[in-house]
Structure 1
Amino acid sequence: MAHELILDGARVIDPSAGIDRVTRVAFAGGRVAALGEGIDTTGCPDVRDLRGLIVVPGLIDLHTHVYWGGTSLGIDAAQFARDSGVTTAVDTGSAGPGNFLGFRKHVIEPSPVRILAYLHVSFAGIFAFSKSIMVGESEEIRLMAPAEAAAVAEANRDVVVGIKVRVGLHASGRSGLQPFEAALQVAEEVGMPMMVHIDHPPPSYEEVVERLRPGDVLTHAFRPFPNAPLSGQGRVREAVVAARRRGVLFDIGHGKGSFAFKTARAMLANGFPPDTISSDIHTLCIDGPVFDQTTTLSKFLCLGMSLPDVIAATTVNAATALRRPELGSLRPGSVGDATILRLDEGRFDYVDTTGEHLAGDRRLTSAGVVVGGRWWHPA
């Protein structure tokens, strides 16, 4: 099959294959066709000279809210993807079993970029999240719909990757861990992982991570006090270390109030990097402090993580969490998605959810997107 698109001259970083060098990537039939310096460009209708740029597997943002028009927190997935270089946006609980079919028909299916979803165990998902109305959906036990959630998850396995639940003072209030137990029953029934949100106690960070299973994802994992993963002495809590040992995954989920530089510095100093880096983008944080996925990645670059490790946390690691090995890789035969990044050096201001500013010396931005083997960005 003739190559339909070739990316030439860029630094290619693919942690899934241990690749970090200047080389070529070719696409055909909607997939990665070949990778290497010997790729012949003759006859290819679209050869892109990307010298000075970086090509990585299509970025996966493991925590987004993209049910635009169906929920008050949803943002436009296509515009976000163009701004962030994201080719797979994973919506985390915007929709529950009561409104998922609308999300699928009106947002997921028409989307030019891939949208996967963690289905909320709450019947209507996250239905009251705005500047003026803020109601924790997990506080109302009558909204927990395990039977309906299991049926919808089973019927939509092509796009539903797991079960979402939010617990904490703001999300579950007096209901505590009861919503967690409902979500766990659904996850076990359908054989899917959970993504669990945690905010202020109760419950405590330890109470949540002690109940998580291998492959489950704790999001907002580097949140500030209270309910930070650290002791007052700056050490990672033993329950957190034990959870990682048994295969629990720790996701950033930056969002409006769930990421602190102070926590991140201490976690990295303790040798505890995140498994996945995600934005938790929604209407209340897209204008700051999150802005987009590349800004979130840049923060970790400036905190001391290596570029290949940062890329792994939004490509192959995220694909592993999703149990979708065809994503997050540039190996021949993989899905034909790629992100082109620009890495600038200078002085850049970053801010976390507590208001702390970080003067960073590097910044990643999206310079192009390949979706399904075709150049998609700019419009």
Structure 2
Amino acid sequence: MMAADLVLRGGRVIDPSQDLDCVTDVAFADGVVVGLGDGLSGDSIHDVSGHIVTPGLVDLHTHVYWGGTSLGIDAEEYARLSGVTTSVDTGSAGPGNFPGFRRHVIDQSAVRILAYLNISFAGIYAFSHRIMVGESHDMRLMAACDAVEVAEANRDVIVGIKVRLGRIASGSSGIAPLDIALQVADKTGLPMMVHIDEPPPTYEAVVERLRPGDVLTHCYRPFPNAPIDGKGQVRSEVLKARDRGVIFDIGHGKGSFSWKTARAMMAAGFPPDVISSDVHQLCINGPAYDQVTTMSKFLCLGMKLQDIIARATSAPAFALRRPELGGLRPGSVGDATILSVQEGEFPFEDVLGEFVIGSQRLLSKGVVVGGCWWHPSPGEQH
């Protein structure tokens, strides 16, 4: 092993990509992982005994175009708060304003930001407590040619195409924006992430159109447009979509996670493929809060800790087609998250105001970004 710049010593390393769960050291040098094992040495050693070390958390659904859109939060502050070393912005910017997002936010950020490009020319441009204009209402904004050009010019950071559908997001346009997004995704060879809110269109109509590798976000929505029927059974179209390789993502956000739906889906043997927060200005102070809070909710639902971590590391890395992320194998990107499990009584809310009291919650205790140690500032832990 080459000389290490940083060693995390004595933590419980959980890396689902390697089926690894043991107490050991992790070493970093030149921005990558260079070794795992006992008694590793390096220029800087951090004792993380009593804590959990995971690959850097990947939040597949965030909004981090801070200052460029009204819903954007700061990705670096979010990394300190929630241990997320890769924030995937999902459609905040469209082809008309992506260059500004890239220059002023993505390229300036010390933490990784990847993006799904919105099919709407202006992205999500009117989303606040006072104003809510679904960008997919206006078919004049569906910018297929521009989206292809911008995606091709930014292949290093654009990971897919985002389209938002539903009564709130697309209104009278219905499912038609999906037709445009599918054409752009096909032309560029990129996957889609598809938002679904209240009908129309129906949940079933949307998932029927999705291809292997496409992401259906907000997959544990409340009624209407829940993935379960009135008897609590998973809809057949949803089962068929998973069978052909559609990826189901939580995307908690302000309106898209229901305890009732979650209990029914878990009881039916349909856990999510990916756990993400959909963090933005309207939900960072509740009900979503952040990624570790969203992950903690699955402890309440009986999911094993290792499986929760997989859905916030290796699973989103797979969805992004970025195998260098989401793991701690030597040669992987040098990102790691240090977590603790706190015991007690913790209220966890869904988007409908239902609270569940959990006996455990996950907290972020620090992150390694590009092989360098970051530590949360006082008062920044949720």
**Identity fraction in percent:** 68
Q: Which amino acid aligns with 2:40?
A: D
Q: Counterpart of 2:45?
A: 47
Deviation at 1:33, TM superposition (A): 0.3
Which of 322, 325, 345 is 1:324 aligned to? Answer: 322
| 5+ long unaligned stretches in structure 2 | 378-382
* Structure 2 equivalent of residue 28 of structure 1: 29
Q: Letter of the aligned partner of 2:259 in structure 1?
A: F
Are 2:308 and 1:310 equivalent residues in the alignment? yes
Distance 1:82 1:181 in 2: 39
Please give the TM-score of this superposition, normalised by the length of structure 1.
0.98
CA distance in 1, matches of 2:124, 2:204: 24
CA displacement 1:288-345 (0-9 Å, x = unmatched): 0111110000001111110000000000000000000000000111000000001111
Report the CA distance between 1:45 and its aligned residue: 1.8
The question of whether the paired residues in 1 share the 8 Å contact of 2:26 and 2:33 is answered with yes
- Mapped partners of 2:43, 2:323: distance in 1: 29
Q: Match of 1:101, as an amino acid?
A: P
State the AA in 1 paired with 2:320.
L
TM-score, length-normalised on structure 2?
0.98
Matched residue, 1:90: 88
**Structure 1 residue 376: Cα displacement:** 1.5
Match of 2:243 in 1: 245
> What corresponds to 2:180 in structure 1?
182
Equivalent residue of 2:4, what SS? Answer: coil
Secondary structure in structure 2 of the residue aligned to 1:165: strand
Contact 2:160-2:191 at 8 Å conserved across structures = yes
Moved over 3 A (4+): none
Tell me how far 1:238 sits from its aligned partner: 0.6
Query: What stretches of structure 1 of length at least 5 have no aligned partner?
Result: none
| Mapped partners of 1:302, 1:184: distance in 2 | 36
Cα distance, 1:70 vs structure 2: 0.5
* In 2, Cα distance between equivalents of 1:134 and 1:98: 19
Please name the residue that 1:5 is paired with: 6
Count the aligned residue pairs.
376
Q: How does 1:251-262 map to 2 (within 5 A)?
A: 251-262=249-260
User: For the Cα contact (< 8 Å) 2:113–2:157, is it kept in 1?
Assistant: yes
Over residues 126-179 of structure 1, what are the superposed CA-to-partner deviations in whole Å (9 max), with x where a residue is unaligned? 000001111010000001001000110011000000000000000000101110
Q: Which amino acid aligns with 2:60?
A: L
How big is each residue's C-alpha offset from its partner over 1:58-106, in whole Å with a ceiling of 9 and x where there is no partner?
0000000000110010011111111000000000000000000000000
Match of 2:113 among 115, 118, 121: 115
> Which shows bigger deviation, 28-37 or 153-162?
28-37
What do residues 232-272 of structure 1 show as CA deviations (whole Å, max 9, x unaligned)?
11111110000000000000000000100110111000110
> Following superposition of structure 1 onto structure 2, how do residues 191-210 of structure 1 map, counting pairs within 5 Å?
191-210=189-208
SS in 1 for 2:352: coil
CA distance in 2, matches of 1:241, 1:40: 46
Residue 335 of structure 2 is aligned to residue 334 of structure 1: no
| In 1, Cα distance between equivalents of 2:21 and 2:259 | 28
In 2, Cα distance between equivalents of 1:343 and 1:293: 14
